[in-house]
Chains A and B, each alone.
Chain A
């Protein structure tokens, strides 16, 4: 790995102060870039004719959904294309040098030194068996740091301190598992900027983090790169984040740049149909709840009764949770010893019939634990879950089995929630079979009906999950949840893993289904932007406790608690809403 960097030595760039380049000369200029991958079925053109310009010290964002070629474009700049990827045409000029077809030693010399990289996943991008300090040291050494051991140690502490890690010297001796996700990402940003590159590529730098942490980290990254005069190329799927952090946007779709230009202009006046859709469906920019077709609980209750063909329900409260508490015992250091951890602490809320209640909080706030107790998958330590007026814990096994039909979950990960060995047909039929609903024939009819309901072609039932996209799998998961005609659906981060356009489609679908079938949703999410689109009422949770509880409009227009305000502040692009509403 250690090269002698003949190229950068030849270039008159001083060791520690980059970005003295002419500010009006492009730092990075990509022209007509073509990238293709060789696969079993032939060539796949991942990037087709992309153009991109970055000036020194500027922030540019590439926006696009997964598979749009945005990461591939970024990877090609530092010649780190995965697998069989190859640049087949076009040019990448960096600081006046052509990178396409440059010898390996040359691109290797650029990496880290002139072009830094902040990877997407802080969990897997630090080596778990090395101390943080060692990993920073390695990065410094690989990029030609020359100095004594003591100097190196001070430099490592400086790098971490710059990245916003307090008590840096002690932190340097810790291992990655002792860091939280946000701290790891800070360390990675420190490593990326350690050698004072002219350009930093940040590939979804915060998509794995909580919104409030995301905001802190991006703010810090912004301050740092501004002070250092580093240009930043953001890769993101989040239009709001891109518009907030960059002045120039490049929108990619299916390997092509469909629109590029000043961020404000693109946001206010998108030209290309894809960009229009993207702007329209970006949750952080959308103004109000979708449709709001159900006017009152009364109306949907009637609908519901009709749908079930049964007597109208006993109460207008689908789920009522009172003083719910869950204590986990965490194994202590010595065998036999244990400490109590209260994951959910005295939580009460009510989900009205035909309404949507959002449980909002960051990771570790106890929202999923609460949901699992509502689903009956976890025993509460104390407190009650009432379903349609009946305390769930008093049910005998037979009644409990019947209760399962009336409340169904949809999970976050569309890749994990369907059994890969089951065809789509079997996946959707399984609940019907398990509860002995109908004959084989009528079950097949019902599966076809459900596929129609979630807007998938009936022929999809012959497929296996791996042949479908994330959005399609989530539709299947919804169809499976609806198979038994439940009254309540618990959506545990059900749209968090999806691209914005697909997310918007699924949210629309959920809303339609709610109107048609009178469903009640318990919507678990960390994303307040989505809450605004779908929920009627909001419960904000922090560290297992409910901190605020009100209707959606109240929470958004008049948040009472500081924590809620922080969450709202942290929505990327939240400030841009007013701007966009006109356009």
Chain B
């Protein structure tokens, strides 16, 4: 009945014509057991809390063990460099400058005749301390400001976002030069602090954006109608759901801060010259990069391994904390 097929079928008075070939009434044999399962749940008892689940998840990933090992070794070296070498990194003998690897000195000597292996071990501390400290400060400062701006909105947002923009406009190195050049006692803490003061803006922007999108979810409204206070909702629901991009950025930032410390040291306004750091050694090695690249190789390698370790760990943690990314 092609001529009246837009009429509701039920009302058409004509009897149904015989179906055409290929359109006869067909019924599949009844399915065994499949039908009742429309709304069934996958059921088996597994651990309950988010953290315990995350741990179970991480434990099974080789990347977790690789990055964990790297981080433990780096931290050990940073804390107790004396355990790994008995040579004083500051005891240099110009007569041995640029000598190649030899017994007791596996990495050879730099231009000042210092033992590169020893300097790489001792340099870990300053770099790791600056990197970890600056990153923690940036995460705390940036997340707080970004979350308040994004969650409370209105004039909080206007003011905090403008402040963020102002700091965003100041180049990190320029700002650091101004502050460090007037500082009298240049410690690792001060370097980290200066880096954090000019480095939190990116993370504040990221947090604000994620919080803005998370706070419109219905589970937030549900929490509100339970009578939960705004601050409580922010801490319990909104922030955990905004954590993923923050973790990712923080692990990247860690590497950037270690490099930034090197930049400051290279400009002579970072850590004092008597402090051994990867950054300082990398900048010192730059002059000889064409003739003796191996001097650069070791401190730079230490930096790369550290940054890589933290970034891999960040990836693993982010995946484990996100129930959506979990595989069973």
Residues in A with CB closer than 8 Å to B1 are 247
Is A459 positioned at the interface, with any CB of B under 8 Å from its CB? yes
Docked-complex contact A247 and B9, CB < 8 angstroms: yes
Q: Does B34 contact A (CB under 8 A)?
A: yes
Q: Are A466 and B16 in contact (CB under 8 A)?
A: no
What residues on A are CB-neighbors of B53 within 8 Å?
423, 464
Binary interface profile of B, 1-39, with partner A (CB < 8 Å = 1, else 0)? 110011011110000100111111111101100110011
Q: Say yes or no for B163: interface residue by CB 8 A criterion.
A: no
Given known A-B contacts A259-B28, A263-B9, A274-B31, A417 and B41 have beta carbons under 8 A apart:
no
A465 within 8 A of B: yes
Point out the residues of chain B lying under 8 angstroms from A457, CB to CB. 41, 43
- Give min CB distance, A393 to chain B, whole Å: 16
Say whether B240 faces chain A, with CB atoms less than 8 Å apart: yes
CB neighbours (8 Å) of B28 from chain A are: 256-259, 272
Most buried by B among A51, A274, A484: A274
Known: A248-B23, A420-B324. A462 touches B45 (CB 8 A): yes
A18 at the interface (CB under 8 A from B): no
A480 beta carbon closer than 8 Å to chain B? yes
Tell me, yes or no, whether B218 is within 8 Å of chain A by CB.
yes
Docked-complex contact B226 and A417, CB < 8 angstroms: no
Q: Which residues of A contact B274 (CB under 8 A)?
A: none
Looking across the interface, which residue of chain B has its beta carbon closest to that of A414? B218
| Nearest-Cβ distance from residue A41 to partner chain B, whole angstroms | 9
Q: Report which of B2, B26, B226 forms a contact with A51, defined as CB distance below 8 A.
A: B26
B62 contacts A by Cβ under 8 Å: no
CB-defined contacts of B19 to chain A, threshold 8 Å: 248, 261-262
A469 in complex: contacting residue of B23, B39, B223, CB < 8 Å? B39
Judge if B224 is at the interface, Cβ distance under 8 Å.
yes
Q: Given A243-B9, A262-B25, are A253 and B31 also a contact pair (CB < 8 Å)?
A: yes
- The verdict on B181 contacting chain A, using a C-beta distance below 8 Å, is no
Question: Given A254-B34, A272-B27, A272-B30, A262 and B16 touching (CB < 8 A)?
Answer: yes
Summarize B's interface: helix, strand, loop or mixed.
Answer: loop
A271→B27 contact, CB < 8 A? yes
Is B49 among interface residues, defined by CB-CB distance under 8 A?
yes
What per-residue 1/0 map shows which CB atoms of B160-174 lie under 8 Å from chain A?
000000000000000
Interface string of A389-422 (1 = CB under 8 A from B): 0000000000011001101110111001111111
Q: With A and B bound together, what is the CA distance between A464 and B43 in angstroms?
A: 12
* Interface contact B226-A434, CB-CB below 8 Å: yes
Asked if B218 contacts A435 (CB within 8 A), the reply is: no
Set B16, B226, B240, B322: member contacting A265, Cβ < 8 A: B16
What is the size, in residues, of chain B's interface with A at 8 Å between Cβ atoms? 57
Knowing A431-B226, A502-B39 are in contact, say whether A244-B8 is a contact too (CB < 8 A).
yes
User: A574–B155 Cα gap in the complex (Å)?
Assistant: 52
* Number of chain A residues whose Cβ lies closer than 8 Å to a Cβ of chain B: 95
Q: Is the CB of A264 within 8 A of B20?
A: no
Q: B69 at the A/B interface (Cβ < 8 Å)?
A: no
Flag whether A376 is at the interface (Cβ < 8 A). Answer: yes
CB of A376 within 8 A of CB of B237, answer no
User: Which A residues lie within 8 Å of B322 (CB)?
Assistant: 420-421
Q: Are B43 and A460 closer than 8 Å at their CB atoms?
A: yes
Q: Check B49–A423 contact: CB distance below 8 A.
A: yes
> What are the residues of chain B within 8 A of A423 when measuring CB–CB?
48-50, 53
In whole angstroms, what is the CA distance A426 to B223 when docked? Answer: 12
Cα–Cα distance between A248 and B17 once the two chains are bound (Å)? 12
B23 contacts which chain A residues (CB < 8 A)?
53, 55, 248, 260-262
B27 surroundings in chain A (CB, below 8 A): 258-259, 271-272, 275
Q: How far is the CB of A273 from chain B (nearest CB, A)?
A: 5
Q: Is the CB of B22 within 8 A of A29?
A: yes
Residue numbers in B under 8 Å from A24 (CB-CB): 20
Q: Which of A253, A411, A468 contacts B222 (CB 8 A)?
A: A411
Check B46 against A421 for contact (C-beta < 8 Å): no
A578 B41 Cβ-Cβ under 8 A: no
Residues of A within 8 A of B35 (CB): 253, 273-274, 277
Asked if B9 and A576 sit within 8 Å, CB to CB, the answer is yes
A300 at the interface (CB under 8 A from B): no
**B112, chain A: closest CB distance, angstroms:** 53
Q: Does A557 contact B (CB under 8 A)?
A: no
Q: Which residue of A lies closest to B232 (CB)?
A: A434
> Does A387 have its Cβ within 8 Å of any Cβ on chain B?
no
Instruction: Please name all residues of chain B whose beta carbon is closer than 8 Å to the beta carbon of A40 when the two chains form the complex.
Output: 327
Bound together, the chains give a CA A369 to CA B9 distance in angstroms of: 38
Is the Cβ of B39 less than 8 Å from the Cβ of A472? yes
- Nearest-CB residue, chain A, relative to B217: A416
The one of A53, A266, A411, A484 in contact with B221, judged by C-beta atoms closer than 8 angstroms, is: A411
B28, chain A: closest CB distance, angstroms: 4
Are A264 and B6 interface neighbours, CB within 8 A? no
Query: What are 19 A-to-B residue pairs whose CB atoms are below 8 Å?
Result: A51-B22, A57-B2, A247-B5, A258-B28, A258-B31, A259-B25, A259-B28, A261-B26, A271-B27, A274-B31, A407-B225, A421-B322, A457-B41, A464-B323, A465-B323, A466-B324, A467-B42, A484-B226, A505-B38
Top 4 nearest A-B pairs by Cβ distance?
A261-B25, A53-B22, A404-B227, A464-B323
